[in-house]
Amino acid sequence: MAEVHVIGQIMGATGFSESSLFCKWGIHTGAAWKLLSGVREGQTQVDTPQVGDMAYWSHPIDLHFATKGLQGWPRLHLQVWSQDSFGRCQLAGYGFCHVPSSPGTHQLDCPTWRPLGSWREQLARAFVGGGPQLLHGDAIYSGADRYRLHTAAGGTVHLELGLLLRHFDRYGVEC
């Protein structure tokens, strides 16, 4: 019966080698969670920074959850994509972070990674774009045996999330 409001924004991203970036995001929760209102997933606009190297999206996130347990605390997963001059989109990084569990405003930095692929694919990526992507997007936030993956670091996505918790104290969860 406890409720969680997640209100905030995806500020933007830094550190990507690509310039025109956009971000697809989603929030994954466990079975105990019920979305009361808001959208679970979305996509930002494409931002091409003119000044500085931070791509600003300022994409709002506004979700209201009800939960009957702590399991499956909401996790945020991100995919940063870049758009090249031909308008083609390619993956720039996957990112994941948990939604903070204490109330208040939180500044989150979510580092991202992307699969590296074989040298052939790396070469192709460098010249013709594209690149390896995860076949199953849920590997971003699930703890599958990721050690098999070879990844390269992407940039960082900056988030600002505010949390409002309600009635957690009723169930003995201090916050």
Residue partners of 44: CB distance under 8 A and separation at least 6: 10, 22, 23, 24, 25, 57, 59
The DSSP secondary-structure symbol of 99 reads P
48, 104, 146, 153: residue in contact with other proteins (rule CB under 8 A): 146
48, 60, 69, 164: residue in contact with other proteins (rule CB under 8 A): 69
d(CA 133, CA 110): 19
48, 53, 58, 84: residue in contact with other proteins (rule CB under 8 A): 84
Q: Is 41 exposed, middle or buried (0-12, 13-18, 19+ CB in 10 A)?
A: exposed
Q: Cα 105 from chain centroid?
A: 17
58, 72, 98, 164: residue in contact with other proteins (rule CB under 8 A): 72
Q: How far is the CB of 13 from other proteins (least distance, A)?
A: 16
**Considering only 50-58, 104-112, 139-147, 153-161, which stretch makes contact with other proteins by CB under 8 A?**
139-147
**Considering only 52-60, 104-112, 134-142, 156-164, which stretch makes contact with other proteins by CB under 8 A?**
134-142
Bridge partners of 11? none
Please report whether residue 56 would count as binding other proteins according to CB under 8 A.
no
Which candidate, 78, 41, 76, places its Cα nearest to that of 161?
76
Site residues for other proteins per CB under 8 A: 1-2, 24-26, 28, 30-32, 34, 36-38, 40-43, 64, 66-72, 77, 79, 83-84, 86-91, 115, 117-118, 121, 124, 128-140, 142, 144-146, 148-150, 170-171
